[in-house]
Amino acid sequence: MDKKNTSGSQGSNVGIGDFKTGNTQISSIGLGSCVAFILYDRKQKTGGLAHVMLPESNGRSERPAKFADTAVPHLIHEMEKSGSSRQNLSAYLVGGASMFQQFKGNLDIGKRNVIALKHCLDEHHIYLESEDIGGTSGRSVLFYPEDGGKICIRRADGKCYDL
């Protein structure tokens, strides 16, 4: 049994493969190759964040926020359930770094996550408002929907900035 099915996480931090929606602060710490996929409803000042780990679900459905291709429709659906209209949603992407230059094989997962997410956003006609992706630094992200959708980023190299 999958205990975390579609409930989303408790508390403010969104763990790997999990998601959260609402109007209070949502955060995701220590993003490496994972990507924080954020949706913000400009009209209702609500939002959602999914902590995406891999690009393709290949039919796996038990944890939609874990994979880019299932996270996008799932988070849109969750936002619509709480009253959002699709045309008021804008998307933001944070993360997708490449932590180990030497990793061999299929390994720029961070980059592949970002490509997959952008592709899905296009498919679902969601506008990508802004992004902070790639590089070699880990990132933590804080998202404040009720504060006009403010997004603060803290990077492993010590830099802090708003998206």
Partner 1 sequence: MDINDQQLDMLREMGNIGASHAATSLSQMLMSEIEMTVPEAVVIDISDVNDVFSEEIAAMVVFEIQGEIQPAGYIVYHVPKLSAIRLTNTMLGSTDEDRELNELDESAIIEIGNIMISHFLDATAELLGVVMLPSPPMMTINMALAAFENILAQVAVDINEIILFKTELKSNDNDISSTIIMLPEEATLQEILRLLNNLITPEI
Is 21 a binder of partner 1 (CB under 8 A)? no
CA-CA-CA-CA torsion sign (57, 5, 86, 153)? negative
Which residue of 53, 117, 121, 126 would you call a contact of partner 1, by CB under 8 A?
53
- Phi/psi of residue 54, nearest 5 degrees: -135, 155
Nearer to partner 1, 4 or 42 (CB): 4
Is 30 a binder of partner 1 (CB under 8 A)? yes
Is 124 a binder of partner 1 (CB under 8 A)? no
Catalytic status, residue 120: no
Is 110 a binder of partner 1 (CB under 8 A)? yes
Is 87 a binder of partner 1 (CB under 8 A)? no
Is 1 a binder of partner 1 (CB under 8 A)? no
Q: How many CA atoms lie within 13 A of 112 on its CB side?
A: 11
Nearer to partner 1, 89 or 116 (CB): 116
Spatial strand order in the sheet of 19-22? 19-22, 46-52, 35-41, 89-95, 127-133
Is 97 a binder of partner 1 (CB under 8 A)? yes
With CA atoms as reference, report the closest residue to 49 among 152, 138, 122, 135.
152
Nearer to partner 1, 74 or 139 (CB): 139
Is 138 a binder of partner 1 (CB under 8 A)? yes
Structure tokens at 85: 């209209």
With CA atoms as reference, report the closest residue to 151 among 75, 62, 37.
37
- The DSSP annotation for 91-133 comes to EEEEE-----TT--SS--HHHHHHHHHHHHHHHTT-EEEEEEE
Instruction: Point out which residues bind partner 1 (CB under 8 A).
Output: 2-4, 9, 13, 15-18, 29-34, 51, 53-54, 60, 62-63, 66, 97-103, 107, 109-110, 136-140, 154, 156
Task: List residues with catalytic annotation.
Answer: 34
